[in-house]
Amino acid sequence: MNAGLGKILSPERVLLGADDLSALMPQHLLVDAQGLLLGAGPTTRKILPGNARFLHDAFVITRPITAAPIAELLSELVESSDRIELRLTADAKVRLRGQVVRLADDMFLLDLGFGMTLPEAVRRLKLDEGDFAASSLAMEFLFLHEANHGILRELSLFNTRLNDARSEAEDRAYTDPLTGLRNRRGLELALDMALHATRGSEEARGFGGFAVAQVDLDHFKAVNDLYGHAAGDDVLRHVARVLGEAIRDGDVAARTGGDEFVLILHGATNHRALRKLGQRIISEIRKPIESGPNLCHVAASIGLTISSNYDDPIAEQLLADADMALYESKRAGRGKVTILTGSLPPATPLRPVTK
């Protein structure tokens, strides 16, 4: 192999005492041709049952697979230099593999190792550093095994926290801190998603239609002026609660300005049902609101438009048209619900569906 080594005279035979053999190969076994155990290294002794006399008392040979008697099997392994693979009879999870050499006619030496089952074997057999030869990589293997586990665990915890922080930050970015409703950015996102869902096939548009409602408070400024901003905040929280209770799961309520709110109502295209919903919201908002010692009174007007009114609805148009309907409600004396239909002034680029 190595040019340098070629000049060194290797002795034909090396004599090793049993102690030296155990020091070099703590996981060895000496057996005779019948598999009778003649000797074992200190680590192998730890895994042998106390009453084991033959190889097959302690081990099941898993490779090579053969029905041949043990004597034949050992001789074949010596000639072919193939590995022998075994598992503990008492514990199938501990597997070993090794090399067989013939020391004398009737004596074979097996040097064994745990291979990939090392961590399992160390745990089950309670082995420690002294059980492995100094040249063995067992310690390094175990170190890597544990280090990998630890790092993967930390990494997944780190990623979880990172994701939590990210979604928390996103939630914050889309939420109105005072009322917990969505803010304008949150509304825009929801509106885009709603529009996206309505695009595509005719059926999808039919079922996927939605209404956009602009809700505006009346007399809100008066409450602020009369009772202060804390009372104003109480009013806004009250309105948010009313809106939150009025809408269904999947619908969206947002606060887009001081006293302006927007709702996205999915699957709500029936005028009568929308009008009823709007009136219920208005009557709930109209109830007196306690704020400290004061009772605050506000009212609300609502304007709606429906996505199925449009061939190709876009967000700005829907919001502007709902706003126009809202203006109509205010003009008609406040506390009203207006749903945009084809009868509105043609000042908008709207193409109304005549019903």
Partner 1 sequence: MHWLVRRSIESFLRETYSDQFWLRVCQRSGDDALQRYVYDRHSIDLISDAARFLDKPEDDLLEDLGAWIARRRRVRRLLRFSGRNFPDFLLNLEMLADRVRMVMPDFFMPRVQVFEDGADCLRIDFPPDGHDWACCMAGLIRCMADDYGALGLIWIGENSVTVQISDGSFAPGRRFLLGGDEEAAR
3-state secondary structure of 255: strand
Q: Is 127 in the site for partner 1 (CB under 8 A)?
A: yes
Count the site residues for partner 1 by CB under 8 A: 28
* Structural contact between residues 48 and 81, judged by C-beta atoms closer than 8 angstroms: no
- For residue 217, the cross-strand partners are 300
Q: Report the residue number, 100 or 122, with the smaller CB distance to partner 1.
A: 122
Q: Which range of residues in 32-40, 43-51, 116-124, 194-202 is near partner 1 by CB under 8 A? A: 116-124
Among residues 198, 208, 181, 176, the alpha carbon closest in space to that of 315 is found at 198
Among 68, 92, 101, 139, binds partner 1 (CB under 8 A): 139
3-state secondary structure of 311: coil
* Structural contact between residues 305 and 211, judged by C-beta atoms closer than 8 angstroms: yes
Among residues 120, 87, 98, 103, the alpha carbon closest in space to that of 27 is found at 98
Q: Is 221 in the site for partner 1 (CB under 8 A)?
A: no
Among 56, 93, 143, 342, binds partner 1 (CB under 8 A): 143
Q: Which two tokens stand for residue 38?
A: 């003649």
- How are strands ordered across the β-sheet holding 210-218? 252-255, 260-266, 210-218, 299-306, 337-339
Q: Is 177 in the site for partner 1 (CB under 8 A)?
A: no
- CA–CA separation, 52 and 245 (whole Å): 76
Q: Report the residue number, 149 or 287, with the smaller CB distance to partner 1.
A: 149
Q: Report the residue number, 34 or 159, with the smaller CB distance to partner 1.
A: 159
Q: Is 178 in the site for partner 1 (CB under 8 A)?
A: no
- Closest contact distance (angstroms) between CB of 158 and partner 1 is 5
- Closest contact distance (angstroms) between CB of 133 and partner 1 is 15
Residue type for position 267: G
| Residues at the site binding partner 1, with contacts judged by CB under 8 A | 119, 122-129, 139, 142-144, 146-151, 153-155, 157-158, 161, 165-166, 169
